[in-house]
């Protein structure tokens, strides 16, 4: 059973608010990811991290930012939320096999469904 | 850029039937391929992972195959049950995961 947690599960906020979506894992995985998923659409990678102090942007451009100060924690922040940010945000983690950028099984959290009014 | 396609987009079968879900990808230079299931409003659960050197993986009633040269993978579900109803996603890994849009499966009791 994977141990990866996301809070909050649901969030409804007004335009212009600053929000932070939390993601934590207890498996000691080096690699962590944030995906955005709109209904009926594929997951798009918006951020990833190879380890502490490592953050990279994914293929899908996002106004959000991330930080990786501790191995187990990978929060995502929106400085000023807009209705276009309404989506489901999924966090995942995986082991980094052989240190060569390869990856093993991804484990996902339950997701945060964000609605910006 | 890697593109992943899943066919069909939706599938409805009676309980007990065997079924096959298809996944195709455009770039065969992948490290591995992973099948997931997603239940409504929830995250993804990993079902099977096939490394690029492997041709298939099995777990219980599930069997996944990989043909890198043709850019295809299949997920075979034997003796389907209503509890198998979910969206099934495949993802290929080339330094990051690329996901398909999924096949929505409904198993009718």
Q: Of B32, B34, B43, which is closest to A109 when you measure between CB atoms?
A: B43
Q: Please choose, from the candidates B58, B39, B56, B55, the residue with its C-alpha nearest in 3D space to the C-alpha of residue B47.
A: B58
pLDDT score for A2: 59
Whether the predicted pLDDT of A1 surpasses 90: no
Average pLDDT of chain A, as a whole number: 90
B43 contact residues in A (CB cutoff 8 A): 6, 90, 108-111
Residues paired with B37 in a beta bridge: B45, B88
pLDDT score for A103: 62
Whether the predicted pLDDT of B15 surpasses 70: yes
A104 in contact with B, Cβ within 8 Å: yes
- Burial zone of A1 (CB within 10 Å; 0-12 exposed, 13-18 middle, 19+ buried): exposed
- Cα separation, A48 vs A41, whole angstroms: 20
Residues 6+ apart with CB under 8 A from B80: B13, B15, B16, B17, B18, B19, B105, B107
Residue range B67-78: mean pLDDT, rounded: 95
3-state secondary structure of B84: helix
pLDDT score for B43: 85
Whether the predicted pLDDT of B77 surpasses 90: yes
pLDDT score for B42: 79
Confidence of residue A99 (pLDDT cuts 50, 70, 90): low
For residue B48, what is the nearest residue in chain A, using CA coordinates? Answer: A105
Q: What are the pLDDT digits (tens) for B30-57?
A: 889 999 999 987 789 999 999 888 999 9
Whether the predicted pLDDT of A100 surpasses 60: no
Structure tokens at B45: 């659960």
A23 in contact with B, Cβ within 8 Å: no
Test B43 with A42 for CB contact under 8 angstroms.
no
Q: What are the pLDDT digits (tens) for A23-79?
A: 999 999 999 999 999 988 889 999 999 899 999 998 887 889 999 999 999 999 999
């Amino acid at each position: 059973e994977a141990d990866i947690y996301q809070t909050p599960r649901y969030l409804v906020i007004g335009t212009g608010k600053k929000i932070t979506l939390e993601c934590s894992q207890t498996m000691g995985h080096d690699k962590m990811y944030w995906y955005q998923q709109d209904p009926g659409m594929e997951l798009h990678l918006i951020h990833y991290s190879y380890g502490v102090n490592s953050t990279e942007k994914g293929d899908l451009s996002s106004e959000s930012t991330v930080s990786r100060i501790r191995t187990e924690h990978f929060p995502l922040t929106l400085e000023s939320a807009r209705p276009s940010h309404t989506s489901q945000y999924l966090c995942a983690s995986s082991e980094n096999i052989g240190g060569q950028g390869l990856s093993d099984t991804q484990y996902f959290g339950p997701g945060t469904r964000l609605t910006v009014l | 850029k890697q593109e992943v396609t899943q066919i069909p987009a939706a599938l409805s079968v009676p309980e007990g039937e065997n079924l096959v879900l298809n996944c195709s990808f455009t770039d065969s230079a992948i490290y591995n391929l992973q099948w997931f299931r997603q239940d409504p409003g929830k995250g993804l659960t990993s079902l099977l992972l096939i490394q690029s050197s492997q041709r298939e993986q099995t777990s219980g009633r599930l069997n996944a195959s990989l043909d890198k040269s043709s850019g295809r993978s299949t997920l075979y579900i034997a003796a389907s049950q209503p509890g198998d109803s979910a969206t099934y996603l495949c993802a290929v890994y080339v330094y990051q995961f690329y996901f398909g849009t999924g096949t929505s499966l409904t198993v009718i009791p």
